[in-house]
Structure 1
């Protein structure tokens, strides 16, 4: 009887966390996504920088743009496993994405969880905004804050050394619940913000100069806020 009660309580606890994680790409094509790449507007020879290669979703890095989910999501945990395929560089995961090309005629309105080498987990605000602890210490002079061109839009992450060596796989988890966002890199909580100006939107991956391979892009809807997210291999 005690074992039965334990199993029932465990099932209830698991169900409160949300649904099963669902892969956002099928390993064969880009169904469920659309590319927004300005260079492809008028240049018939421009390549799509987002491809499927050997079952991996690959951002070739150039030309610059974004791969945007067709669906809009709210209250979820996004798990991304990625690595820089060659030279380390820049890329990012965007959440709460909405209006396309809202910044520099390239970036959709969103909050970015940075993947740039040695800066993974930074927040960049793109026509949206978010509050973090020690805001002035981390973001700079308050009078220079903003969410558009020329403003202080970067909020550095809280840790050093959370990324694996170049060539190895990294796991980034971005949890969006109500108006808070948490980011983990390889099991370390690297950033946390609240009072976000958005609580739903599309998910986007960047092409921003460096080739990046993704072997997992999974989304799990959640019903409650997690205090900790355990490291997973």
Structure 2
């Protein structure tokens, strides 16, 4: 290799090394290393049953007590790949991107943009003291004068398609891409949401415990430089 080419190759490795150092996967299949729990009910009862456990290589959100499992690290320009299922009754859960200030909404939810996993609503956006825009906003969010990012406001932005989820009990694959102020979401290969002008572009990633038991067999994160089409 010529000296100039070698130098360029070494420079490329140096520039990429911070990204390569990120934990891939962010769930290691063994324990909750790299994560911390924020469950308000633990404040007064630290011995309460855990909201998140690892069993047989799966990350399990028990649904209750309600709260969040949050990465210790912050991320920017990334793709999350999650494989999940509701092993029992279907219900509510979500993956939060660009999470920051804890307990910013209802003294429970961290400031973030939620990508909904609620059964038959996977891919909806919920604005949690952060905002994001989509095409056809009034059709998908309701009257403009009622929009907002705090309690009592219309924070839900409907996804683009129904019917992308698999039969309850089967595994689903959700891909979330965050690049700059844009967020795109796929469920089982279908593009289900696409937003832009997000008010946050980096932060932590969080998984919810919000009433239903959810199993994750994969939760990966990787840096990206462009959005998939």
Same fold by TM (over 0.5)? yes
| Candidates 167, 184, 187, aligned match of 1:182 | 184
User: Superposition pairs for residues 38-187 of structure 1, below 5 Å?
Assistant: 38-187=40-189
How far has the Cα of 1:44 moved from its partner? Answer: 3.1
Unpaired segments ≥5 residues, structure 1:
1-14, 229-233
For structure 2, list consecutive stretches of 5 or more residues without a partner in the other structure: 1-15
The alignment partner of 1:58 has SS state of strand
Displacement of 1:47 in angstroms is: 1.6
Q: 2:205 and 2:172 mapped to 1: Cα distance?
A: 19
CA contact (8 A) 1:89 1:210 kept: yes
Name the CA distance, whole Å, in 1 between partners of 2:88 and 2:27. Answer: 23
Alpha-carbon displacement from aligned partner over 1:127-161 (angstroms, at most 9, x marks no partner): 00001000011100000000000000000101011
- C-alpha deviation, 1:174, in angstroms: 0.5
Q: What is the total number of aligned residue pairs between the two structures? A: 211
Contact preservation (8 Å) 1:40, 1:48:
no
Shift in Å at residue 21 of structure 1?
A: 8.5
Which of 212, 217, 224 aligns to 2:226? It is: 224
Normalising by structure 2, what TM-score? 0.90
Instruction: Give runs of aligned pairs for residues 205-220 of structure 1, distance below 5 A.
Output: 205-220=207-222
Distance 2:107 2:23 in 1: 33
- Mapped to 1, the partners of 2:195 and 2:189 lie a distance apart of 17
Contact preservation (8 Å) 1:40, 1:47? no
Instruction: Return the alpha-carbon distance in structure 2 between the equivalents of residues 21 and 77 of structure 1.
Output: 12
- The DSSP-based 3-state class of the residue aligned with 2:139 is helix
Moved over 4 A (4+): 18-21
User: 2:195: which partner in 1?
Assistant: 193
Q: What is the aligned partner in structure 1 of residue 30 from structure 2?
A: 28
Aligned to 1:37: 39
> 1:56 and 1:63 mapped to 2: Cα distance?
19
Q: CA-atom RMSD, angstroms?
A: 1.4
Deviates more, 1:184-193 or 1:37-46: 37-46
Once the two structures are TM-superposed, the CA of residue 26 in structure 1 deviates from its matched residue by 1.5
TM-score by length of 1: 0.88
